[in-house]
Chain A
Amino acid sequence: MSETGRRGWRLVVVAVAAFVVVPVGLVAVSILTPSTEVWSFLWGTDLPDMLVTTVVLLVAVVGCTLLLGAGLAWLVGRYRFPGQRWFSWLLVLPLAVPAYVLGFVYLGLLDYPGPVQSGLRTLFGDNVWFPEVRTLPMAVLVLSLALYPYVYLLARAALTEQTAATYEAARVLGQGPLQAARRVVLPMARPSLAAGAALVAMETLTDFATVQYFNVQTVSVAVYQVWNGMYDRVAASEIASLVLLFAIAVIGLERVARGRARFHQNGGARTVDPVHLSGAKAWAATGICSLVVAVTFVVPVLQLLAWSSTATVLSSTGGLDPRYLSYLLNSLTIATLTALACATIAVLVASATRLGGGTSTRRLARLATVGYAVPGPVVAIGVLAMLAAADAALDLVGLSWGAVLVTGTLVGLLYAYIVRFLALAYTSVDASLEKVAPSITDAALTLGAAPRGVVRRVHVPLVRSGVGVALVLVAVDALKELPVVLLLRPFGFETLAIWVYQLASESRWELAGLPALTIVAVAVVPVIWLFRQTLQLASQLPPETVREGPDEHLVRGGERGQS
């Protein structure tokens, strides 16, 4: 790293960090400056109930995902059974099915007019009992099934990182396999589990679409309703600050759960020998994994396929709904713009931390990735507040197209997406640049290349793979993102995700099938590609390199940036 420090490059990092932090800061400010009239009004509404619901939902979803994610990771990590190798990555597939898709599929399947209940009625008569579907427990179930892969990925990484020596030491010291697991393996995996749980909690806080299918009212739903129903930015901002408080509490709890634990194991060591299951136990293991994959991926995809085909058959023209292509184009446009912007900023910031020098620059760069740890509604409301301020400023100088800026263009949406997804791009690019020795940068400088030339001629070609990863990950995330786009879309701007949500809210499952299927098809790409990379790496490189494999790209960004 050049230690001579270049102010210009440091300023780049400062600017990007400010760009990301200011919207969040604006929401944080409304925590500190509560408006009494707004609150006395809000307190009279359902808000207190919503707070309770949010807590219950968070606790339940985190608990379920921990059990499911860590349990499955343990199963495929420590045992060998038929299909184990396939399941170890098939279990990641649910990442490709957003909760708002999984939610409406099961709503369609299980609701009163759906095939399951109709079938039961034909079999057992009209009075057959079936649990109420649009309830909190069902919301918990759907969110848990959609979000458990976060815990699963981190737990699996933690398990594979653990060396045989630690486990064997426990065994030699007189602990049985389960005791060793409880006293050594689990405590050592705790930081990863805490990180996974925090990630799940953030996603749960961000969501206000899925829970609405199930008539569950959380504070995030309140933000949406207040903004979308009343366009009351102040009230929305006040509620968003509540969401932010939840997020801060989650990060605090993660810190506590992680404790002072910083477990580093020597790389390249042998991992614990897996246990070969046989007979009933083996088939039970296979059965459990098959069930999870079926419920979270196969059934939803099949159902979406079925709905898409009926919808095409049913439509009067027999062809594609014309809206489909135009919404797809909108989705692709915003996804491409976001991906390009995030990748460019990520390359700039990563290069700037090298050329700018100093630990303060590095810390600032991390600050620029905090957006991933902030729930979507908070980012959206923060960006709204910023645009409103810009609007006011423009009014002052006599330009009144500020209002257009807020509601008429993609600026706000793009801004919020960059805040939210920059971490994803930055971690990929930075990981790539990290592999380029600092002396390479120094060599280019001493050979007379100006800093900009160093970025163009050396950094960019060398981090190309990282930029590719960043582009794909950000584009896919932006394409399937729902809450932020619902809050910030320009008037009349529809995307596939919005369309799915609207059709699902109106219980028009058949029509929602095709756009939902499209989203799943796109989102499955990085998962499969991640799997291929893992396989390639595993066959080519020593184990310590595999650990830094692309697995973490999906998850790293969410590790609260500062970890």
Chain B
Amino acid sequence: MASPELSTRYAAPLRTAPVLELCDLSKRFGDVLALDRVSLQVSAAELLAVVGPSGCGKSTMLRAVAGLLAADSGEIWAGGRQVAGPRTFVPPERRNVGVVFQDLALFPHLDVASNVVFGLRRRDRGRQQRVREVLDLVGLDGLGQRFPHELSGGEQQRVALARALAPDPSVVLLDEPFSHLDRNLRTLVREHTVQVLHAAGATGVFVTHDQEEALAAGDRVAVMHAGRLEQVDVPEQVFHNPTSRFVATFLGEADFVRGERVGDRAHTAFGTLPVTTPGVGPCQVMLRPHEVAMEPADSGSGVVVRTEFRGALVLHHVRFADGSTLRGVRPHSSPLAVGTRVRVRPLVDHPLAVFAA
């Protein structure tokens, strides 16, 4: 178990004791700080999505947890024991951490069953039973004799998952596990993977650069930027209540509206809006396009300058007299022409994120 000192220092909302814990983890590659004092806790049976732009350090973090890379400083605790620390480095083969690699890394010379059995001990009597169990769990029963190259992309993905789960690892790490699949298949496979992980009761960390994927699949989402964890919280919170402008814009389209904060409200050109953090003075209120409605009005303050067809919705860029712009959506059945003068109205059913001006 983590030392009492560690568990009191990080008061995150945990359901149970952490199964994986990173503490002040840092790693430098030349001039680049890939990990900058990253601290994180993942509780049992939780699936944490780590999201960030490419090069933000998320894969480095995963490799450090797996033991494929040694961090410069900091500690890693997995399954109740320290696997990396100032004087500790447990090699990957003794960490009991499962990994689903980005390219899956199935052993091409072994059939499905042999791939899955690879991580099980030779002396383990029940290992054939375990292989059947895991293949059954991922829905591949009966395909044990196939070779990886005889399987579809989705099936290969399941083999990789089954192989990682078979030794019953304390944590399963998934490194951009769906990026090699085409878009349609990706959603299906992702949903299936999440189901399997939950069914297996596995604790998981999966890394992605796709914010929709992170929001949809993660029990919690950790947003990473330039080696730092910007925010770790449930999907609703990181989306609606981002703690930084980076998180706000990375997780979805966001515009910022100037305002004057008075207590838990802010006065803006679009009316008085509720904000999450009370305060006093000038501020910027975040509005996402789905929260911005507009009607054509000759007396309106904005003009539609550009439209983007998004399928069900049409995104409208509206420019105001002071040069600021705001994006809003309308149903595809009633788009507005470029040049239409509009009145903009925020549709707010919750307090909005607010940032210092």
> A2 at the A/B interface (Cβ < 8 Å)?
yes
Instruction: Give the complex CA separation of A453 and B109 in angstroms.
Output: 15
> A168 at the A/B interface (Cβ < 8 Å)?
no
Which B residues are CB-close (under 8 A) to A442?
Answer: 66, 68, 92, 99, 101, 105
CB < 8 Å: which of B104, B109, B167 contacts A462?
B109
> B103 at the A/B interface (Cβ < 8 Å)?
yes
Tell whether, in the assembled complex, residue B167 and residue A448 are in contact, meaning their CB atoms are under 8 Å apart: yes
> A32 at the A/B interface (Cβ < 8 Å)?
no
Of chain B, the residue at the smallest CB distance from A2 is B68
Tell whether, in the assembled complex, residue A446 and residue B95 are in contact, meaning their CB atoms are under 8 Å apart: yes
Ranked nearest first, the 4 interchain pairs of A and B with the lowest CB-CB distance are: A447-B119, A439-B105, A443-B105, A445-B92
Given pairs A445-B92, A447-B93, 8 additional interface contacts (CB within 8 A)? A440-B105, A442-B68, A443-B99, A446-B99, A447-B98, A447-B118, A448-B94, A462-B109
Which A residues are CB-close (under 8 A) to B119?
Answer: 447-449
Highest count of chain B CB atoms <10 Å: which of A5, A444, A446, A449: A446
Contact with B along A430-472 (1 / 0, CB 8 A): 0000000101101111111111010001100110000000000
Cβ contacts A to B, 12 pairs, < 8 Å = A3-B68, A4-B91, A5-B70, A439-B104, A442-B92, A443-B101, A446-B98, A449-B119, A450-B93, A451-B93, A453-B93, A462-B108
Instruction: Give the complex CA separation of A542 and B29 in angstroms.
Output: 36
Task: Please give the distance in Å from B323's CB to the nearest CB on chain A.
Answer: 45
Instruction: Give the complex CA separation of A444 and B118 in angstroms.
Output: 8
> B320 at the A/B interface (Cβ < 8 Å)?
no
Q: Which of A177-210 contact B (CB under 8 A)?
A: none
Tell whether, in the assembled complex, residue A3 and residue B63 are in contact, meaning their CB atoms are under 8 Å apart: yes
Of chain B, the residue at the smallest CB distance from A450 is B93
Instruction: Give the complex CA separation of A450 and B68 in angstroms.
Output: 13
CB < 8 Å: which of B67, B103, B108, B109 contacts A446?
B67
Tell whether, in the assembled complex, residue A448 and residue B103 are in contact, meaning their CB atoms are under 8 Å apart: no
Tell whether, in the assembled complex, residue A448 and residue B96 are in contact, meaning their CB atoms are under 8 Å apart: yes
Tell whether, in the assembled complex, residue B105 and residue A445 are in contact, meaning their CB atoms are under 8 Å apart: no
Tell whether, in the assembled complex, residue A445 and residue B109 are in contact, meaning their CB atoms are under 8 Å apart: no
Q: When A4-B92, A462-B108, A462-B109 are in contact, do A439 and B102 touch as well, CB less than 8 Å?
A: yes
> B209 at the A/B interface (Cβ < 8 Å)?
no
Which A residues are CB-close (under 8 A) to B108?
Answer: 462
Instruction: Give the complex CA separation of A10 and B70 in angstroms.
Output: 16
The tally of CB-CB contacts under 8 A between chains A and B is 79
Which B residues are CB-close (under 8 A) to A450?
Answer: 93
Tell whether, in the assembled complex, residue A461 and residue B109 are in contact, meaning their CB atoms are under 8 Å apart: yes
Instruction: Give the complex CA separation of A96 and B167 in angstroms.
Output: 53
Tell whether, in the assembled complex, residue A437 and residue B118 are in contact, meaning their CB atoms are under 8 Å apart: no
Number of A interface residues in the complex (CB < 8 A): 23
Task: Please give the distance in Å from B62's CB to the nearest CB on chain A.
Answer: 11
Instruction: Give the complex CA separation of A448 and B119 in angstroms.
Output: 6
Instruction: Give the complex CA separation of A2 and B118 in angstroms.
Output: 19
Tell whether, in the assembled complex, residue B95 and residue A444 are in contact, meaning their CB atoms are under 8 Å apart: no
Of chain B, the residue at the smallest CB distance from A436 is B108
> B163 at the A/B interface (Cβ < 8 Å)?
yes
> B161 at the A/B interface (Cβ < 8 Å)?
no
Binding site for A on B (CB under 8 A): 63, 66-70, 89, 91-99, 101-109, 118-119, 121, 163-164, 167
Contact with B along A1-35 (1 / 0, CB 8 A): 01111100000000000000000000000000000
Instruction: Give the complex CA separation of A444 and B66 in angstroms.
Output: 12
Tell whether, in the assembled complex, residue B118 and residue A446 are in contact, meaning their CB atoms are under 8 Å apart: no
CB < 8 Å: which of B93, B96, B101 contacts A439?
B101
Instruction: Give the complex CA separation of A449 and B101 in angstroms.
Output: 16
Instruction: Give the complex CA separation of A450 and B121 in angstroms.
Output: 12
Which B residues are CB-close (under 8 A) to A458?
Answer: 107, 109
Q: When A446-B98, A448-B94, A449-B93 are in contact, do A4 and B118 touch as well, CB less than 8 Å?
A: no
Q: When A2-B68, A437-B105 are in contact, do A445 and B91 touch as well, CB less than 8 Å?
A: yes
Which A residues are CB-close (under 8 A) to B109?
Answer: 458, 461-462
Instruction: Give the complex CA separation of A2 and B68 in angstroms.
Output: 5
Tell whether, in the assembled complex, residue B107 and residue A446 are in contact, meaning their CB atoms are under 8 Å apart: no
Of chain B, the residue at the smallest CB distance from A1 is B68
Instruction: Give the complex CA separation of A538 and B146 in angstroms.
Output: 28
Q: When A5-B70, A448-B167 are in contact, do A443 and B97 touch as well, CB less than 8 Å?
A: no
Instruction: Give the complex CA separation of A457 and B122 in angstroms.
Output: 13
Tell whether, in the assembled complex, residue B103 and residue A447 are in contact, meaning their CB atoms are under 8 Å apart: no
Q: When A457-B118, A461-B109 are in contact, do A4 and B102 touch as well, CB less than 8 Å?
A: no
Instruction: Give the complex CA separation of A440 and B115 in angstroms.
Output: 11
Highest count of chain B CB atoms <10 Å: which of A3, A451, A461: A3
Task: Please give the distance in Å from B234's CB to the nearest CB on chain A.
Answer: 29
Instruction: Give the complex CA separation of A461 and B114 in angstroms.
Output: 14
Tell whether, in the assembled complex, residue B167 and residue A3 are in contact, meaning their CB atoms are under 8 Å apart: no
Tell whether, in the assembled complex, residue B63 and residue A446 are in contact, meaning their CB atoms are under 8 Å apart: no
Tell whether, in the assembled complex, residue B70 and residue A4 are in contact, meaning their CB atoms are under 8 Å apart: yes
Instruction: Give the complex CA separation of A449 and B117 in angstroms.
Output: 12
Task: Please give the distance in Å from B206's CB to the nearest CB on chain A.
Answer: 15
Which B residues are CB-close (under 8 A) to A445?
Answer: 67-68, 91-93
Task: Please give the distance in Å from A466's CB to the nearest CB on chain B.
Answer: 13
Of chain A, the residue at the smallest CB distance from B117 is A447
Of chain A, the residue at the smallest CB distance from B110 is A461
CB < 8 Å: which of B92, B97, B163, B167 contacts A2?
B92
Of chain B, the residue at the smallest CB distance from A454 is B93
Of chain A, the residue at the smallest CB distance from B119 is A447
Of chain A, the residue at the smallest CB distance from B96 is A448
Which B residues are CB-close (under 8 A) to A448?
Answer: 93-94, 96, 119, 121, 167
Instruction: Give the complex CA separation of A446 and B68 in angstroms.
Output: 8
Task: Please give the distance in Å from A429's CB to the nearest CB on chain B.
Answer: 16
Instruction: Give the complex CA separation of A352 and B107 in angstroms.
Output: 19
Task: Please give the distance in Å from B311's CB to the nearest CB on chain A.
Answer: 36
Task: Please give the distance in Å from B41's CB to the nearest CB on chain A.
Answer: 21
Which B residues are CB-close (under 8 A) to A439?
Answer: 101-105
Task: Please give the distance in Å from A544's CB to the nearest CB on chain B.
Answer: 19
Which A residues are CB-close (under 8 A) to B67?
Answer: 4, 445-446
Task: Please give the distance in Å from B337's CB to the nearest CB on chain A.
Answer: 45
Which A residues are CB-close (under 8 A) to B98?
Answer: 446-447
Which A residues are CB-close (under 8 A) to B103?
Answer: 437, 439
Instruction: Give the complex CA separation of A440 and B105 in angstroms.
Output: 5
Tell whether, in the assembled complex, residue A4 and residue B89 are in contact, meaning their CB atoms are under 8 Å apart: yes
Task: Please give the distance in Å from B64's CB to the nearest CB on chain A.
Answer: 10
Of chain A, the residue at the smallest CB distance from B94 is A448
Of chain A, the residue at the smallest CB distance from B90 is A4
Tell whether, in the assembled complex, residue B95 and residue A449 are in contact, meaning their CB atoms are under 8 Å apart: no
Of chain B, the residue at the smallest CB distance from A461 is B109
Instruction: Give the complex CA separation of A443 and B107 in angstroms.
Output: 9
Tell whether, in the assembled complex, residue B107 and residue A440 are in contact, meaning their CB atoms are under 8 Å apart: yes
Instruction: Give the complex CA separation of A119 and B28 in angstroms.
Output: 80
Which B residues are CB-close (under 8 A) to A4?
Answer: 67-70, 89, 91-92
Highest count of chain B CB atoms <10 Å: which of A447, A457, A461: A447
Instruction: Give the complex CA separation of A453 and B107 in angstroms.
Output: 14
Contact with B along A237-275 (1 / 0, CB 8 A): 000000000000000000000000000000000000000
Instruction: Give the complex CA separation of A444 and B107 in angstroms.
Output: 9
Instruction: Give the complex CA separation of A450 and B94 in angstroms.
Output: 8
Which A residues are CB-close (under 8 A) to B94?
Answer: 448
Tell whether, in the assembled complex, residue B66 and residue A446 are in contact, meaning their CB atoms are under 8 Å apart: yes
Which A residues are CB-close (under 8 A) to B118?
Answer: 444, 447, 449, 457
Task: Please give the distance in Å from A361's CB to the nearest CB on chain B.
Answer: 15
Task: Please give the distance in Å from B114's CB to the nearest CB on chain A.
Answer: 10
Of chain A, the residue at the smallest CB distance from B92 is A445
Instruction: Give the complex CA separation of A457 and B115 in angstroms.
Output: 11
Q: Which of A259-315 contact B (CB under 8 A)?
A: none
Instruction: Give the complex CA separation of A449 and B68 in angstroms.
Output: 13
Which A residues are CB-close (under 8 A) to B105?
Answer: 437, 439-440, 442-443
